[in-house]
Amino acid sequence: MAIKAVIDKIEDVDEKYRDLYTAKADKFELTGVEGMRTEADVTRLSGALEKERTDHKGTKKKYEALGDRKVEDVLVQLDRIPELEMAAKGKLDEKQIDEIVEKRINSKTAPLERKVKELTGHVVERDTLIAGYQSKEQTRIVQDAIKEAIGKAQGFQTAAVEDALLFGEKHLTINEDGKVVSKDGVGVTPGIDAVVWLTEMQTRKPHWWGETSGGGAGGNKGGGAGGARNPWTFEHWNVTEQGQIYNTNVARAEQLAKSAGHAQVLGARKPVPKAK
């Protein structure tokens, strides 16, 4: 027995084929065969096409009075109606002539103004989209720099990553050279990179490194910026590490010394402890 595409009762189909049918309105249609179109599908499609043809004919009928004229040309003529009405009144004085000139100028510039307004809207929309993309890209670059710095920091707590990213977005930006550095006026040393920024944050956010980390002697055992400690600070003062960092990365050494309040990198004097 052939399988029908549309049936009235599901009971009329062999039980093993019933899962292939779906109830639609008061019928059951064969929908379990991939790529198959039922008669009902064809009927619905034909109805949609016929509606589209009817709508198209209606639109064409609505605007057939324009003939070959463009809508833009008709709008220009409509803009001149006030001028033509005034001229039809008869004699025109100087004031009326000025009004006609003004009307004529407006009739010429009105289409341009409409176009300018339309294009301005497109430009604003485009600039908004570009600004959104740029903001997202800048945030991504800053976050990547923070994550890289965290990856170099020994003992950093996984649970503190989101908190560090949040603070980093407020403190860090991208400079003209495309490098991620700290901002001015945000409470941290300006111009330092993400690694040195994270080192500086250790004294402010010791819980990021857990209870055993921070400014005390039992803190991080890592070296230099990679271990999230600054050998130019009082807590981690270490001339040997200063020399190692300077020999490896002069710019990093300068940033760390500046972060600790030193004007010079090598030969700096050990700072006095902060008053408790």
Q: What CA–CA distances, in Å, run from 209 to 172, 187, 219, 227, 229?
A: 20, 21, 9, 11, 11
Convert the pLDDT of each residue in 11-70 to its tens digit: 888 887 778 788 887 888 877 776 566 666 667 767 777 878 777 777 777 767 666 767
Residue from 200, 191, 273, 272 nearest 230 by CA: 200
Convert the pLDDT of each residue in 162-215 to its tens digit: 999 998 999 999 998 888 988 988 888 888 888 888 888 887 888 898 754 444
Contact 232, 257 (CB under 8 A): yes
Give the CA-trace dihedral at 124, 127, 128, 133, to 10 degrees: 170
Residue from 76, 78, 96 nearest 86 by CA: 96
Q: In angstroms, rounded to a whole number, what is the distance separating the alpha carbons of residues 30 and 17?
A: 9
Convert the pLDDT of each residue in 4-14 to its tens digit: 778 788 888 88
Tell me phi and psi for residue 174, to 5 degrees.
-110, 125
pLDDT band with cut points at 50, 70 and 90 for residue 141: very high
Least confident among 57-66, 219-228, 230-239: 219-228
Q: What is the structure's pLDDT at 220?
A: 41
* pTM of this structure: 0.42
Q: What is the structure's pLDDT at 211?
A: 56
